[in-house]
Amino acid sequence: MDFDLNPEQRDFQRTLRDFVDREIKPVASELERSGEYPTAIVEQLKHMGLFGMTIPETYGGLGLDAVSFAIVFEELSRGWMGIAGTLGTHSLSCWMINQYGTDEQKQQYLPGLATGDRRTGVGLTEPDAGSDLQGIRTTAILDGDHYVVNGRKTWITNARHADPLPVLVKTDPQAQPRHKGMSILLIDAGTPGFEVLRDLGKLGYKGPESCEIVFDNVRVPIANLLGGIEGRGMQQALPALESGRINIAARAVGIAQASYDAALEYSRARTAFGQPISDFQAIQLKLADLATNVQAARLLTYWAASEQAAGKRADMQSGMAKYFASEVAIKSALEAMRIHGGYGYSTEYVVERLYRDAPLMAIGEGTNEILRTLIAKSLTSGRDSIG
């Protein structure tokens, strides 16, 4: 069994790490405090081709393997988890369009999305429907050669930049079971009736916007039905979320790694009773736990990614990785803060931001409570096993 990255992945990781250390870490805290959109960083991400991670080279993308995909989000989140969010739902949406779109849809959208000239996100969550996607209320009723869309979505990352925005809708509100009446429409920016209402205030995850949007009699051409066949929306969204959970797991690893790095550096520099606090056993035990948990979360995430890269169904594996890594991120950020003592509560130190960013990892792409039930169902059904 090989638990190491191959040479290409290692070089890719080194390039990203150098970029993050040079261009993101020095400005992340100031940009977050000011609320300024990270335009300059986004432009550099475009130049590096990272908006095309999940797009094949045929359409101008990088076509990264799943492990390299995870490396991107781990390294970016080590510098600033918020900036990773700019690529997160964009990459998920690009994967979905490439996987399920018609040839015409791929040719129309993917080249621009690969360069970052176009951006995208994904419109799933609603005010009354988060983990229960079958409970959405947004409808798309066929009227001639267009669908008429009405409804509301919330917590939509990249909403102000998305063109197109894939939106989960009910094309047959009366269908039973409900998922058979659900479809995904690619809604172009600027379509009349498609409006971003407001940016939502957040505890952490600053940088990319998270918005509430409304659809008021939005007319969408039939040609923008993802895949061209109604009733496949859930079958298209759920596999994309599998990839999204690897993204979230990797972001959590990045937060955990940054927490450990900050704790280790501070413990070596801070003195008490005439010696570095890293010499005290109480601190040493915390550092040992942090390092062990970070590496365990990383290996679980890379395992899930490698399963997906091998073409295997990886919903249980990605669920395990996202669940475990997100809990490690939360605990690591808290322990790093405690090692810093009072300074950990100060905005002058990075651990305060890590502490605010970490909880989202337990919520995004399915809450950990939901994922634990999905993992259990995979095990009890006999579809997956451990050992």
Rg (CA), the chain: 21
CB 169 within 8 A of CB 184: yes
| pLDDT tens digits, one per residue of 151-171 | 999 999 999 999 999 999 999
Q: Which of these, 24, 8, 30, 92, lies nearest to 258 by C-alpha position?
A: 24
Task: Check which CATH number belongs to the domain holding 170 and give it.
Answer: 2.40.110.10
Residue 152 lies in a domain: yes
- Same domain for 259 and 152: no
Same domain, residue pair 190 and 212: yes
Task: Tell me which DSSP letter residue 129 carries.
Answer: B
Q: How far is the CA of 167 from the CAs of 111, 145, 341, in angstroms? A: 20, 18, 45
CATH of the domain at 15: 1.10.540.10
Domain count for the chain: 3
| Residues with Cβ within 8 Å of residue 155, at least 6 apart in sequence | 125, 200, 210, 211, 212
Q: Which residues contact 94 (CB under 8 A, 6 or more apart)?
A: 51, 52, 53, 54, 55, 61, 110, 113, 114, 120
Q: What's the CA gap between 134 and 231, in Å, rounded?
A: 12
Residue 1 lies in a domain: no
Residue 67's pLDDT is 95
- Domain of 275? 235-380
2 in any annotated domain: no
360 in the same domain as 271: yes
Say yes or no: 75 and 162 in one domain. no
Is residue 63 included in any domain, yes or no? yes
What DSSP state is assigned to residue 214? E
Same domain, 152 and 95: no
221 and 245 belong to one structural domain: no
DSSP per-residue string spanning 87-117: HHHHHHHHHHHHHH--HHHHHHHHHHHHHTS
Residue 22, domain member (yes or no): yes
Is the residue at 386 inside a domain? no
CA distances from 224 to 104, 171, 206, 221 (A): 10, 13, 31, 6
Assess whether 83 and 48 both reside in one domain. yes
pLDDT of residue 385: 75
Same domain? For 138 and 262 the reply is no
Same domain for 78 and 144, yes or no, is no
| pLDDT on residue 2 | 73
Residues contacting 352, CB < 8 A, separation 6+: 337, 344, 345, 346
Q: Which residues are catalytic?
A: 365
Give the Cα separation of 163 and 158 in Å (integer).
10
φ/ψ of residue 162, rounded to 5: -75, 125
Residue 385 lies in a domain: no
- Per-residue pLDDT reduced to its tens digit, 106-131: 999 999 999 999 999 999 999 998 88
Does a structural domain hold residue 125? no
Do residue 204 and residue 251 come from a single domain? no
Q: pTM (2 decimals)?
A: 0.95
CATH number, domain of 266, equals 1.20.140.10
Residue that finishes a domain, picked among 87, 115, 143: 115
Task: Give every residue of the chain whose pLDDT is below 50, as ranges.
Answer: none
259 with 345, same domain: the answer is yes
